[in-house]
Structure 1
Amino acid sequence: MNAPVKGAAARAEGGAPYGGIEAEDQGFLELDLMALYRTLRKRLGVIMGVTVGLTALVMVVVLQQTPLYTAEAQILLDRQKMQVTDMQAVMSGLSPDSATVDSEVEILRSRTLAARVIETLDLVQDPEFNGALREPSMLRWLDPRVWIGTALSLIEAEPLPQSEDVRARAELNGVINSVLGRLTVTRQRLTYVINISFVSENPAKAARIANSLADLYILDQLEAKFDATRQANDWLSRRLAELRQQVQDSERAVEIYRTEEGLESSAAGVTVSEQQLSELNAQLILARTSLAEAEAKYSRAQQIRRSGGTIESMADVVQSTTISQLRQKQAELARELANLASKYGPRHPEIVNAEAQRRDIERQIGSEINRIVGSLENNVSVAQTRVGALEDSLREIRGEAGTGNQAMIQLRELEREAAANRAVYESFLNRFKETSQQQDFQTPDSRVISAATPPVNPSHPRKALSLALALVLSGMLGVGLAFLLEHLDNGLQTGRDVEQALGLPHLVSLPATPAEKGADGKVMSPQDYLLVKPLSAFSESLRSLRSALQLSNVDNPPTVILFTSALPNEGKTTTSAGFARAAAASGLKVALVDCDLRHPSVHKAFGLKRPEAGLVELLAERLDLAQVLIRDPKSELDILPIATGTANPPDVLGSTQMRLLLDRLKADYDLVVLDSAPVLPVSDSRVLSRIADETVFVVRWNETPKDAAQAAIRELRLYDANIAGAVLAVVDTAAQAKYGYGDGGYYYGKYSRYYVN
């Protein structure tokens, strides 16, 4: 029960009263597993109570809850589209990105779709979703929202009367909120699959609502496409009428302008002026070619004549039929002359006649050549005249064409505008025909891949899981409450607590005595229990305290020992009286002096009547020491009681007479025990601590506040008191065994058989 005494060493080192507190603060920096274990063991009752109580409450609530069933359907956002035609759809399909899938999830959670499900299945008339149709239940008060709503209804003024439509909308909104509260729509990881889960009290109803939501979602997609196609057709129809009128107006403007400006076109698509200009250009080119050819021929003939050459080699001469015939006659006549010359002489009439014919033929050839040359000259003149006429006509036509160019520019502008209007009209007409065909054929972008089926087992409440969670959470709450109570606990339970909190050696832990009756039938006081049970833990603790005080100063053991405490009723008088009687029972000559001049209680501890004379009368020198001493009827202990008080207790206790009295008692007795007043209320004990050899500070187990004990120690140190250590009094040994692992009291159960209690 006792701990190693180190009071003298602590005083020699000038140990600060808060040294233990500093050590405790440093302990927070490290995880003390044994401290955690001590706390849990100490507050095991609180932990078990909170755990069992809350778990039982949770299970009662769980067992009272209505079973709920969860049905799940799955929808696939289909990326593969059936392409019947090559036409572009009015409303494009869903894109495969993640944002689109998340958007479809939000559509499935929308209030609009929930309202359609409610309308389809008539859920407004279902009491499960319409709170107005449900009967009141006690479990509804477990919902905090019911409390808040009730409080608000009491606080708010009387509501104004509502119309039937407003009440119907409010009722529908409540049903929508209830349905959405039971609905869970999630995307299955990174796939295009969407899970639709619905919770209901009826498994078939849960499956029916989940499937209805999936079907209405797909139907909503089809209706959206039908609406988009119908709106597109209506718009295209109106737009086509406008474009048709624009095309007619633009084409009419082209024809009117062409007629007004005389810009009629030929079959080839060009105007008359352009066609005439083109033809004249072609004729002028041919005429100039003919002129050049005629001039070349005529120039060649002139050149041959000037050079004295024969002109008969020219192509026109060679090609002349007349000259060919004359040359043929000339050849025949030459053969004839040759025959005649062989027969006749030059004067022969036939020869003369033949010569005359030859000369006539040559004259004819010459005349024909001259005619051909003259014809070449005439051809040149004709060609020149024709070229000039064509050039005049061309200039005239070009003048007319230049005048019509400005009109042609405007005409082409009108034609381009008409062509553009025609192209737009044809494009819209084609698109209108495509959308008209699509209106009767639309496919959804989603499909149900797994329809919801009525579940067999309820999904809520999960009794096993609820029990496990209740145990874990209530256990955690109990542990948290235990640590909170430990943190708020300001008492001292173990010797370690005393040393850490007060910075004093723990001298001994003094157990509380059991409530046993003595021979007279009354409950024994601790002082009587000491004598009746000399081998008890209480008696052994007092003997250990005396040994500890003697070892605190081996060379000069203390004789005058002061017992004090921080506050009243902390076991100070019981400890000092028991200590004195135990010392007297061991054979020492002991004097017990009651120094509490304000509330004396030593005589009560020994069952004595209040004396007529005591310490005050002795110090006033009105009586002798032998006259005021009282012998303990059950031991050899001498008691110096207090009969009357005084107006100035500190002055009396710190007087010279008090010092002389203590010197006399030290000379006559082996041990002088002083029982004084508490430290904090009055200064009596502080004064006595200066004249006592050692001061024992008594702390009541688990009741003395740490801050009060620390303040008392601080006050004693201000008076230079020699504090031997602290006694932990009135200890519940059974409870202390739970608190102080590593402390002596923790092992009380193992060595308790050495005591005879």
Structure 2
Amino acid sequence: MIRLHIIRTVIFALIGLAIGFFILSQSPKIYEGRTQLVLGSQTPNGRFYSTVLNQDVMDILQTGLASNPQTEAQILRGEGVFRNSLAKVAAAKGQPAMSSQFEDYYRMYDVQSSTDSSAALIKARAYSAQDAADLANTIAETYNELRQNNQRAAVARALEYLQDQIVKAKQDLEASEKKFKDAKVKVGAPDITAKVVRDVEYESQLRASLDSAKAELSGIDEQIRQTQAQMEERPKTEAGDMSEQKSQTLQQLENQLAELERNRTTLLVQYYPDAIPVKNIDGSIESVKKQIKTIKESAKFENTVRNNRPDTIRKSLEANLANLKIQKDGMLQRVSSLEATQRQHEQVINSLPQTNMELVDLARDVDISDANYKRLKVQSEDLKNRTESIAAAAQIVDTAVPDENPVLPRPPVIYVVSILCGAIFGMLVSFAIEAMRLRIYSSTQLQEITGLPVVGVVHDLPGPTARRLLTSLREPTPLVAESYRFLAFAGTSKKAEGPRTILLTGADGKAGCSTTAAQFATALAQSGSRVALVDCALDDPTITRVFGLEQKSGVSDILSQTQLPSSESTVGTETSTPNLRVIGAGTEGKNAIKVAPTQNINGMIGALASSCDFVVIDTMPCLSSSDAARLVPYVDEVYLVVSAKSANMRNVAAAIDVLTLASAASIKFVMTKGSRGEEAVMKQANFASARG
């Protein structure tokens, strides 16, 4: 049965392999193009910082800035960017069919990103290497166009907002100047007016100095926050299980690098990354890095030590943080001093006569309106100059190039999956086929279904034990299983007149018919009966081989009349077991039973029966050979040997039909390979074994 399952499984696995090969031959090759770019804002922490633009303008500009990398990656994965990119590639190549296959291309498209990195990998697939590379690059370009358009639109909105504010500020300034001029004419005191103007100008200077100090304080706070964030990302110490003590030159360069990076962080508070001061310091940083790399590659280290050392960059950041805190304390003192001076000046102004106070208020309004107008103008000019720098594109780290190695289909994967699926399906089919067959598991079930008696149950013997039982029959003290003794005693307990001939056959070749016949005959002989064991299984003469009778005359010789039995001679070979003679298959070929005349078969069985109490005949399975059907009319009983492990009702029923049609006088069952758990309690004694 296991062999049958394996054969079916292998056949279906080969069918699955063939299907996999067919699928592979019909599947189009798919190529992949990869482009890597850096997502997110190009400004520090994704926000605008400026000492010129006010918060309202920066909030408007913020709407056009790139969001965090995760959000930008989701935009990059969206259908809009991909659809526009695919349409551009299709138009450039003159292949409108690409646009109509949007769903197929989009299903193969992917953008890989992580939460701890701003890098994104665009993976575009197409049916040619060049198309895949062009599509990946076009997606990056389309995303940059979208991002830059959004940023330019935000700048346009900010400029429009500033223009409206400038118009309003100009109107306020003109109104304030008119009021102040009318008041001066009314008072008619030029000296007082001049003093008022000087007081207001001084107040304006104090206010400007205070605003500048507060702006610097805010910038210092932002630098402190950024430095602390950078310190959190740096380890406190460098890994130093095996560290190398650096030369003095290398240490100086690393300190210089840390100082340059600290200065760059300070500049980013006031400038954008593409500003000239920032680019200059970036050039210095790259120069120092090259010097450090050159020294490290030359391996000019003094000693190798085993220790951990403080992280150089973190140490520099800590020094920078301490310096910033000192600057903050100084700036706080300056702000406090300016606020105190402003309060004192306000007290002086408030002590002026009522007429002077009115002039002071009007002059102050003029000064404030003028300052506001100029500030808005400066913001507008600054924003116009920054339009292109604000609309910065995402940095493309690596552009896609055509790769002629297809990513799909993958032949090894298809072959393995096809074989596995075929094998699994084959196993399921094989088990389903066997499950649909009515299996016979016990002697009780066999007797209930067929209505025929079961004269013996032989327990399931391990392979080595079964072979040992069979080969021991030629020894002086043969081994006979107890279950075969029960079969001999139970099946032959009734006294009958004259000798009895019993034919043993099976439905298939897995029941162990030859072993059963040999053990049964030996058990009968040991009980005192004269027994002739006849090997009529000419196609597979197991008994002949066990007793070493391959070269001796036997059944085929008798039926072919090359050796005829006589009353004076004894047919067969005596064995070491008393009362047991064995007649082998003979030397005249496998077809002797099929072609022998009826009188020869009748004469042979009659001659054997005349000198024995029992004639036990072993034949080939009745469903695979006609020999059993040819011998059935000449015997008294037929023992149909059935295996509890492999028999099914279809084969058993077919065997019964064959034997019945062959005019069997009596059919009984012998069940082999029985299970203790399936048999009744009164039959479990049969499962013991003994040495005869």
Task: Tell whether the structures are fold-level matches, with TM greater than 0.5.
Answer: no
What is the TM-score of this pair, normalised by structure 2?
0.41
What is the TM-score of this pair, normalised by structure 1?
0.38
Bigger radius of gyration: 1
